[in-house]
Chains A and B, each alone.
Chain A
Amino acid sequence: MSLTYLLRRSGLMIYTLVVVSLIVFGITQALPADAAVMMLGENATPDALAAIRQRLGLDQPVWMQYGRWLAGVLHGDFGLSLRTGQPVGAVMIEALSRSLLLAVLSIGLMLLVAVPLGIVAAIRRGRIADLFVSVVSYVGVSFPEFVTATLVVLVMADWLQLLPATGYVPLTEDPLRGIRHLVLPVLTVSVILVAHVSRMVRSELVDVLHTDYIRAARLKGLDERTVLFRHALRNALLPTITIVALDVGYLLGGIIVVEEIFALPGVGRQLIVAIQARDLPAIQAGALIMAATYSVVNFLADLAYAALDKRIQYA
């Protein structure tokens, strides 16, 4: 991996983030919500509204407002919540850390299950094991999150009474209870992702096992284990990195339903609250933080890919 590639890829990430910040800011400008009215209520006097607009800089041209907002964001200041009056940045980042915890644990569990499943399906292609993996993964991917979540809660929390159905306890407060609360959401999300990734691993590995260089490795007399782990997996798992990075996007935005069902105060829930309250600074902060996380994860995935696949010089 060359320095040029690193610079180019970083440049691309920064460019993406600038575009995202423009879009986020633009959308909140277009929303039918007036920050001054939101703060002072419907019955505020015109003088009071004008005063607060001046204080917030809302009377300035839009590009000035964008510049001030961006400058603040770069210093970690996302503005004050219109709903609570507290800084929105801290709230959003805390929510994000909970979502990320859920995401990282889910991806970890998913990889532990999906990669071996994909391998088994690929080397037992067309046999019972392959069929079993296919059926399991299709069932997993076909159910909507709320169905999977409900089933998981029904079995684990209601029938077996093993784990709490909802709620969240910070790990720092009580690690054991914290983990008990995380198990079911992690399980739900993993089930959905396992399907996705095991299919990917299977099809990539099947392709790789049919390449000339795998045949060459076998005809060198290498045993099947060496052929599989040293020659085939390395190539088959590369595309999986990209898929997992894309899944992070889904995990940040798409698991609002899961967070809602398990009452997990993640970034998705915070964003819904902000939207319902037309809390513009909170919406901006939430959207931007999610986009930034997504960009960074994909940036890291591309770097990992380039480090593993020596052929990649630049994208």
Chain B
Amino acid sequence: MTAVLDIAGYTLDYALPKGGSFRALENIVLTIARGEVLGLVGESGSGKTSLAWAIMRYLPGNAQEVGGTIRLNGEDLRSKSPAEIAAIRGRRIGMVFQDPSTSLNPTLTLGAQLSEALVRHRSLTLKQAWAEGEAMMAKVGLHRPADMMHRYPHEASGGEKQRVVIATAFSCQPECILFDEPTTALDVITARQILDLFRRLQDETAVASLYISHDLAVVATVADRVAVIHRGRLVETAPVIQVFNRPQADYTKRLIAAVPRPDRRLNDTTADAEAAPLLEVRSLTVRYGQESLVRRLLGVERERVLGNRAVSLSVQPGEILGVVGESGSGKSTLARALTGLNPFDGEILFDGRRIASAGDMDRAYRRDVQLVFQHPDSSLNPRQRIGEILSRPLKLYGNGHEADFPQRVAELLEQVHLPRSFAQRYPHQLSGGEKQRVAIARAFASHPRLVICDEITSSLDVSVQAAVIQLLLDLQRRFGTAYLFITHDLNLVRQIAHRIAVMFRGELVELATVGELAAGPKHAYTTALIDAVPAPVG
């Protein structure tokens, strides 16, 4: 079997602005045969995207190719002129990008963006290309393709847009296609449909695919062989079954161990279901958008967007309540309402105290209910040192004297397994996982009884995520803190939560214990969600 894509001994450096260079890829060797899917797995900064740019010949100005070859059906791409490369891109090597909402031009119709590749590479007339594009749209499972051709990107859903991107990549029947995390930006169920589409097209066209992902579970379901990349080196390349069942490299073993599996519980505590609930939410409704003055004067009722519709749930002391749902399902709206960031109807009872609006959330409530956000980059002030960031809640909630703060800050840092010296650093000097630890330390500074975690691990690599989850569980055991753990990752939440609330279009459709959920969910949406999640690996 001859390789369609053949990379041998490829080494890439990036020149650093202050002189010297950084080795991004070291002696990369890989081949992909016709009809084969090679999964390339690695964490952020591992070099997997650099490899994609090297294949596409789209390297930044400071890239220095030290050696090696990249061959497409025997032709060395490195020796091609820019014009030759332009004729190869899109024609012989296609690419599917991570986020369809940013990889499509907002001012051109989907049809125009799909057909221009056909005009460029297959010398079709505009009319022929349009007809061909429409046929491609039907082929990737878009309903009413004629109509879809005339739509603009903002008029299509994320899944539809990704189908258009995939249709474009396949439209010129390329020999090789690179998929760069094509489902990462999509919701679980949409991602599953895109994966099914990928497999179908892959079988039909026998293209050689490089499937790049950080998600081992996804790669396990689509790839024939897997290459694991770590710090610019391929640490292991083997058939998919072998990699997941008998991993050879230590790094692969660590990576696989970090992937959440619902059958491996990380949390052995139980929540007291009989105790008085710590938090009770009674028919909480959040509406978005404001009534305009004119409408109010005219008495015209506008239909407002519902963020949450009559959500009722409770959290026991020390309980971890998982909240799952797709984007737009209202999980973050719930978190925002509970912290007074959104006005709401209905009522909240915290430790028996009635809270009817954000105005009732006094300092005592805020001390007891803390929030950790998804992106530590935007929730930590970049101009403050970590020590100042952690001193603020101490000051705000009046814990002890200011003279003791440095000591308290050091304790907080140690609680989240960070060195004391980090107090002197600025957020940008920390890694993503370290920053999220600081955010957690800040939330715990006031000794809260409930911490709301809003997708706190979704921007972290899987191994970092595992460590942060372990930290949260340690803190829960130590302080008996309850969590409202909001996530889109069903496998993860099934490892740690006591009960799980499933949200769909603003409503709470199911609230069950982890055991009940494992035995079989009651609501059809929950079933669809569980089925859409790739089976855990290992």
Given contact pairs A213-B102, A213-B104, A308-B107, A219 touches B121 in the complex (Cβ within 8 A):
no
C-alpha spacing A213/B116, complex, angstroms? 14
In the complex, A231 has a CB within 8 A of chain B: yes
B87 within 8 Å of A (CB atoms): yes
Bound CA–CA A272/B33 (angstroms): 80
Q: CB-CB contacts of B94-107 with A at 8 A, as 1s and 0s?
A: 01010100111111
B165 cross-chain contacts in A, Cβ below 8 A: 216
Shortest CB-to-CB span from B518 to chain A, Å, is 39
Interface centre among A221, A223, A230, A234 (most CB of B within 10 A): A221
CB-CB under 8 A from B168, the residues of chain A are 220
Chain A residues within an 8 Å CB radius of B58: 215, 218-219
Question: Closest residue of chain B to A216, judged by CB?
Answer: B103
The verdict on B154 contacting chain A, using a C-beta distance below 8 Å, is yes
**For residue A126, which residue of chain B has the nearest CB?**
B61
Please state if B91 and A216 are interface contacts (CB–CB under 8 Å).
Answer: no
Contact A220 B117 (CB under 8 A): yes
Tell me whether B56 is interfacial, beta carbon within 8 Å: yes
Q: State the CA gap A222–B108 with chains docked (Å).
A: 15
Task: Please determine whether B117 and A221 come into contact, CB atoms closer than 8 angstroms.
Answer: yes
* Residue ID in chain B nearest A11 by CB atoms: B294
A235 at the interface (CB under 8 A from B): yes
Say if the beta carbon of A310 comes within 8 Å of chain B.
yes
CA distance A309 to B105 in the complex (A): 11
A212 touches B102 (CB 8 A): yes
Which residues does chain B contribute within 8 Å of A221, judged by CB atoms?
Answer: 86-91, 117, 120-121
Docked pose: A219 CA to B88 CA in angstroms: 9
**B152 within 8 A of partner (CB):** yes
Please state if B107 and A235 are interface contacts (CB–CB under 8 Å): yes
Contacts of B86 in A (CB 8 A): 221-223
As a 0/1 sequence over residues 197 to 228 of chain A, the CB contacts with chain B under 8 angstroms (1 = contact) are 00000000000000111111111111100100
- A311 contact set on B, CB distance < 8 A: 106, 152, 154
Q: Which of A219, A231, A238, A311 has the most CB of B within 10 A?
A: A219
Distance to closest chain A CB from B436 (angstroms): 26
Taken together as a complex, chains A and B put the C-alpha atoms of A121 and B197 apart, in Å, by 43
The docked-state distance in angstroms from the alpha carbon of A310 to that of B151 is 10
Contact A231 B89 (CB under 8 A): no
A51 CB to nearest B CB, Å: 45
Residues of A within 8 A of B152 (CB): 310-311
Interchain CA distance A94-B154 in the complex, whole Å: 46
The answer to whether B97 and A212 touch across the interface, beta carbons within 8 angstroms, is: yes
| B interface residue count range (under 10 / 10 to 19 / 20 to 34 / 35 or more) | 20 to 34
Contacts of A238 in B (CB 8 A): 107
Cβ of B304 to closest chain A Cβ, rounded Å: 16
Contacts of A216 in B (CB 8 A): 95, 97, 103-104, 165
Shortest distance from the beta carbon of B353 to any chain A beta carbon, whole Å: 42
Near B by CB (< 8 A), chain A positions 281-315 give: 308-311
A219 vs B87: C-alpha distance in the bound complex, in angstroms?
10
Say yes or no: B107 contacts A309, CB within 8 Å. Answer: yes
Assess the B116–A220 pair: CB atoms within 8 A.
yes
Chain B residues with CB under 8 A of A234: 105, 107-108
Are A220 and B90 in contact (CB-based, < 8 A)? yes
CB of A229, distance to nearest CB on chain B (Å): 12
Q: Judging by beta carbons under 8 Å apart, are A219 and B90 in contact?
A: yes
Q: Which of B83-138 contact A (CB under 8 A)?
A: 86-91, 95, 97, 99, 102-108, 116-117, 120-121
Whether A217 contacts B105 in the complex (CB less than 8 A), given A212-B99, A310-B152, A310-B154, comes out as yes
- Could you say which of B56, B88, B106, B117 contacts A213, with CB atoms under 8 Å apart? B106
Per-residue CB contact flags for chain B residues 46-77 toward chain A (1 = under 8 Å, else 0) read: 00000000001010000000000000000000
The smallest beta-carbon distance between A167 and chain B, in angstroms, is 45
Q: Which residue of B lies closest to A312 (CB)?
A: B154
Q: Is the CB of A213 within 8 A of B90?
A: no
Report yes or no: B106 in contact with A219, Cβ–Cβ below 8 A. Answer: no
Residue contact B89 to A212, C-beta cutoff 8 Å? no
Docked complex: B196-226 residues within 8 A CB-CB of A: none
In the docked arrangement, what's the CA distance between A211 and B102, Å? 7
B177 → chain A closest CB, angstroms: 11
CB neighbours of B56 from chain A (8 A): 219
Q: Are A213 and B103 interface neighbours, CB within 8 A?
A: yes
By a CB distance below 8 angstroms, the chain B residues around A308 are 107
Whether A219 contacts B95 in the complex (CB less than 8 A), given A310-B154, A311-B154, comes out as: yes
A234 to B112, CA, bound (A): 14
Bound: A216/B86 CA distance, A: 12
The chain A residue with its CB closest to the CB of B95 is: A219
**Chain B residues near A212 (CB-CB < 8 A):** 97, 99, 102-103
A54 to B459, CA, bound (A): 77
State whether A235 and B106 are in contact (beta carbons under 8 Å apart), knowing that A212-B97, A215-B58, A219-B58 are contacts in the complex: yes
Q: How far is the CA of A235 from the CA of B153 in the complex (A)?
A: 14
**Closest residue to A208 on the B side, CB-wise?**
B105
A308 and B116 alpha carbons, distance in the complex (Å): 20
* Most chain A Cβ neighbours within 10 Å, of B116, B165, B168: B116
Q: What is the CA–CA distance of A234 and B165 in the complex, to the nearest angstrom? A: 20
Give chain A residues whose Cβ lies under 8 Å from the Cβ of B97: 212, 215-216
Q: Which residue from chain A places its CB closest to the CB of B107 in the assembled complex?
A: A234
Complex interface bits, A85-110 against B, C-beta within 8 A gives 1, otherwise 0: 00000000000000000000000000
Q: Give the CA-CA distance A230 to B155 in the complex, in Å.
A: 20
Asked whether, in the complex, the Cβ of A222 is within 8 Å of the Cβ of B106, the reply is: no
B95 lies within 8 A of A213 (CB) = no
Name A310's contact: one of B87, B103, B107 (CB within 8 Å): B107
* B117: chain A residues within 8 A (beta carbon): 220-222
Residue of A nearest to B154 (CB): A311
A220 is contacted by which of B106, B120, B155 (Cβ under 8 Å)?
A: B120
- Cα A219 to Cα B99 in complex, Å, equals 15
Q: Which of B86, B97, B152, B155 has the most CB of A within 10 A?
A: B86
Q: How far is the CB of A158 from chain B (nearest CB, A)?
A: 48
State whether B154 touches A231 (Cβ < 8 A): no
- Bound complex: CA A177 to CA B102 (Å): 53
Given A310-B154, A311-B152, does the pair A219, B107 have CB atoms closer than 8 Å?
Answer: no
**A222 contacts which chain B residues (CB < 8 A)?**
86, 90, 116-117, 120
Question: Which chain B residue lies CB-closest to A222?
Answer: B120
Give chain B nearest CB distance to A11 CB in angstroms: 9
Question: Nearest-CB distance from B324 to chain A (Å)?
Answer: 28
A213 and B121 contact, Cβ closer than 8 Å, known pairs A220-B168, A223-B86:
no
Bound-complex Cα distance A214 to B116 (A): 14
Proximity bits, A240-279, B CB within 8 Å = 1, else 0? 0000000000000000000000000000000000000000
Per-residue B-contact encoding for A136-178, CB less than 8 Å = 1, 0 else: 0000000000000000000000000000000000000000000
Closest B residue by C-beta to A212 = B102
CB of A282 to closest CB in B, whole Å:
36
A86, B233: Cα distance in complex, Å:
87
What's the least CB distance linking B530 to chain A, in Å?
32
* Supplied contacts A213-B102, A222-B120, 17 more A-B pairs, CB within 8 Å: A212-B97, A212-B103, A213-B105, A215-B58, A218-B89, A219-B95, A220-B89, A220-B168, A221-B88, A221-B91, A221-B117, A221-B120, A226-B116, A230-B116, A231-B105, A310-B107, A311-B152
Of all A-B residue pairs in the complex, the 5 with the closest CB atoms, nearest first, are A221-B90, A221-B89, A220-B90, A212-B102, A216-B103
**21 contacting pairs across A/B (C-beta < 8 A):** A212-B97, A213-B104, A213-B106, A215-B97, A217-B105, A219-B56, A219-B58, A219-B95, A220-B117, A220-B168, A221-B86, A221-B89, A221-B117, A222-B86, A222-B117, A223-B120, A309-B106, A310-B106, A310-B154, A311-B106, A311-B154
Please report A residues at the B interface, Cβ cutoff 8 Å.
211-223, 226, 230-231, 234-235, 238, 308-311
